[in-house]
Amino acid sequence: MRYAILALDLDGTLTNSKKKITPLTKQRVLEARRAGVQIVLASGRPELGIRPLARELDFYRSGGYILSNNGSRILDCKTNEALFERTVPAELYAHICEFARAEGLSALAYDDHGVLSENPEDEYVKKEAFNNGIPIRRVPLLEQAVSWPVNKFMIVGPPPRLQAALPTLKKNIGRKVNIFLSEPYFMEISPPEIEKAYAMQQLLALLGLNKSQLAFCGDGLNDLTLMRLAGLGIAMGNACEEIKSASGFITRSNEEDGVAYAIERFILPYAE
């Protein structure tokens, strides 16, 4: 089976524990694109946190797509055109930030330079900034600092406190936004219906492709819907059990060039 499009999660999939793409994995991704396969970086990261990897893979010259914030925005890197975008309703900004303060948690958002937070010293805010390789800027009141359409808010904090707060926030605003835990310490608040699979369906339609032509590599719970959508879902060796169960193949871990191995086995032998 020839796959026309290859989507790759980043953290725990394309990158290793040092948040780097290994030379072998980079080589195989570039070979796949030279063979005519469209490449998509599909991540929960904000676009700012994906751009350096897109540049490393030469997306801005040779082509490629960024699916950021778990699908709230899709960028065509070669044309710098946003092909799809959804935002959190502006009337909820204050509620989200006030809720975080009341629960002793930290809310954060992003601008074109990095993470914005009232609590830059919070260990979980620092973790999110590290995961994306971007700086943190302190703001007095987050809801007043963001004067632009926001693709995603996060509320972060100790897992027991975050998990206890989740049902209340869902009850309050869950009809207007998508709220879920991407990690035990990360709560994500996205536009309604937004998830990786939904955004990928929009991209496939724009490219004139169908889901049977899609291969996807992922490892985390936010990859589950896209793993089920893809014609070939490939779970990393380090993936959670739900992802492994939903996949069609389990490759090596992200520390063992699992993406490169999957490309060697399923993409390059059938490429043009």
Q: Where are the domains of the chain?
A: 5-86+194-270, 90-190
Beta-carbon contacts of 121 under 8 Å, excluding residues fewer than 6 positions away, are none
pLDDT at 272: 63
Return the number of other C-beta atoms located less than 10 Å from residue 58's C-beta.
Answer: 15
What pLDDT digit, counting tens, does each position of 39-89 carry?
A: 999 999 999 999 999 999 999 999 999 999 999 999 999 999 999 999 999
Q: CATH fold of 90-190, please?
A: 3.30.1240
Quickly tell me which residue has 């709220």 as its tokens: 179
pTM equals 0.93
Q: What CATH number belongs to 5-86+194-270?
A: 3.40.50.1000
Cα–Cα distance for residue pair 157/128, rounded to 1 Å: 11
Cα–Cα distance for residue pair 131/252, rounded to 1 Å: 22
Residue 8 confidence class, pLDDT cut points 50, 70, 90? very high
**What tokens does 110 get?**
């992003």
Mean per-residue pLDDT of the chain: 97
Cα–Cα distance for residue pair 192/62, rounded to 1 Å: 33
